[in-house]
Amino acid sequence: MKLDRGVPAQVDLSTRNSEEPKKGFGFHPLGVWCDTTAEPLAAMLRPGNAGSNDASDHLTLLDQAIAALPVEYQAGHQPGDRPDAVVHPMLVRADSAGATHDFVRGLTEANCDFSIGFPVNAQVRGALMLVQEEDWVPAIELSGHRRPGAWVTELTGLLDLSSWGEGTRLICRRERPHPGAQLSLFDVGEGFRHTCVLTNTEGSDIASLELRHRGHARVEDRVRNWKSCGLGNLPFEDVVRNMAWVKVTLVAGALLAWAQMLSFDGALAKAEPKTLRYRILHVAALLVRRGHRLILRIDETWPWARDLERGFERIRTAFG
């Protein structure tokens, strides 16, 4: 695994439902991805009636995800480690299913920064009624430009967050709703759609912290790719054998992520599994032996023949 040493390792946790189509048995998988490299780190297949906000499952999977990182990235994030033992900071992002006291406490004990979706409940709505118009600052995009029709404010001092631990902050974004957006009665009355983020990261640039959490949306792509690697069709009727199947899908996802990091640039470096299968994995070729060498002959008219050739060259270079 290759991670950018100048940027905190960003880990995304997501829960998604998957129903086995042949016999109708429901399963509720939980997955974790390293956003920095797009690699799947760990997964858990649970019964269909498992709750999406089960903190014990989240903590178990977090431990597995940290254990899957290189040893130097685990430093400071093991049980009992002091905050000053952290060599590589780690950010864990999750949707509102991760907004439980036990999970947040576990993240704090693991010396991780967190960015977790937070429900707009009665306490949050009361705080929003106290926000002055001048307290809202423009939301931003990745380009640094202003996000049209969106503003951000901090609610930390306007409601009681003491149960979430010292240093916990709550940031809210309001945005003019898109056509078809599902709105609560509060949002309808205010004329804006509100979303909140719970975090323990310090800093006065709340627009950047809110933008950072929006990157969690990439986990939707990870889930879709996971299904393309076999999760979309769990073949067995019991959890144990399907869990073995899930492990194989993780291996497939990791191999694809490594191949894209090492071998390709441009569109192929970001392509989804279906595209890679058509352009690279399923290409017609002939393996021949000449002397003591194996040679892979590819149809030179294949549009991605040169990309495949460069990919093999980079793999040979990377592994000597």
Write the pLDDT tens digit of every residue in 150-183. 999 999 999 999 999 999 999 999 999 888 778 8
pLDDT by residue (tens digit) across 215-255?
A: 999 988 998 999 999 888 888 888 888 889 999 999 999 99
Task: Assess whether 61 and 164 both reside in one domain.
Answer: yes
Residues 199 and 241 in one domain: no
Residues 240 and 216 in one domain: no
What confidence score (pLDDT) does residue 63 get? 94
Among the candidates 222, 244, 268, a domain finishes at 222
Name the pLDDT band for 1 (thresholds 50, 70, 90): very low
Instruction: State how many domains the chain has.
Output: 2
Q: Is residue 3 part of a domain?
A: no
Host domain of residue 68: 9-222
pLDDT exceeds 70 at position 73? yes
The pair phi, psi for residue 125, each rounded to 5°, is -60, -40
Is residue 229 domain-resident?
Answer: no
Average pLDDT over residues 120-129: 95
Are 86 and 195 in the same domain? yes
pLDDT at 7 over 50: no
Residue 21 has pLDDT above 50, yes or no: no
What is the bridge-based pairing of β-strands 26-34 and 18-19? Answer: antiparallel
- Cβ within 8 Å of residue 11, ≥6 positions away: 32, 33, 34, 35, 41, 62, 65, 90, 91, 92, 93, 112
Task: Give residue 20's pLDDT band: very low, low, confident or very high (50, 70, 90).
Answer: very low
Same domain, 64 and 183: yes
Spatial distance between the Cα atoms of 137 and 116, rounded to a whole number of angstroms = 21
Q: Which pLDDT does position 180 carry in this prediction?
A: 77
pLDDT of residue 22: 41
Q: Is residue 34 part of a domain?
A: yes
Q: Which of 102, 99, 94, 210 is nearest to 147 (CA)?
A: 210
**Confidence at 25, pLDDT banded by 50, 70, 90:** low
Q: What is the pLDDT of residues 92-107, one digit of tens each?
A: 999 999 999 999 999 9
Q: Is residue 286 part of a domain?
A: yes
Tell me the one-letter amino acid at 34: C
Same domain, 276 and 137: no
Beta-bridged to residue 153, according to DSSP, are 172
Instruction: Render the burial of 138-176: b for 16+ CB within 10 Å, e for the rest.
Output: ebbeeeeeebeebbbbbbeebbebeebeeebbbbbbbbe
- Note whether residue 2 is domain-resident: no
Place of tokens 């995009």: 141
CA–CA distance, 20 with 125 (Å, rounded to integer):
39
Q: Is residue 17 domain-shared with residue 160, that is, in the same domain?
A: yes
Task: Specify whether 83 is located in the same domain as 111.
Answer: yes
Last residue in a domain, options 198, 222, 246: 222
Average pLDDT, the chain: 88
Tell me what pLDDT residue 23 has. Answer: 43
Inform me whether the pLDDT recorded for 3 exceeds 60. Answer: no
CB 146 within 8 A of CB 114: no
With H, G, I as helix, E, B as strand and everything else as coil, classify residue 239: helix
Q: Is the residue at 4 inside a domain?
A: no
Same domain, residue pair 260 and 190: no
Is 152 in the same domain as 250? no
Domain-located, residue 182: yes
What is the pTM for the complete model shown? 0.86
207 and 250 in one domain?
no
Q: Is 132 exposed, middle or buried (0-12, 13-18, 19+ CB in 10 A)?
A: exposed
The pLDDT value recorded for residue 312 is 87
* pLDDT surpassing 80 at residue 16: no
Q: Are residues 208 and 259 in the same domain?
A: no
Question: Is residue 1 in some structural domain?
Answer: no
Of the residues 174, 200, 222, the one at which a domain ends: 222
Q: pLDDT value at position 53? A: 81
CA geometry: angle 247, 250, 253, nearest 5 deg? 155
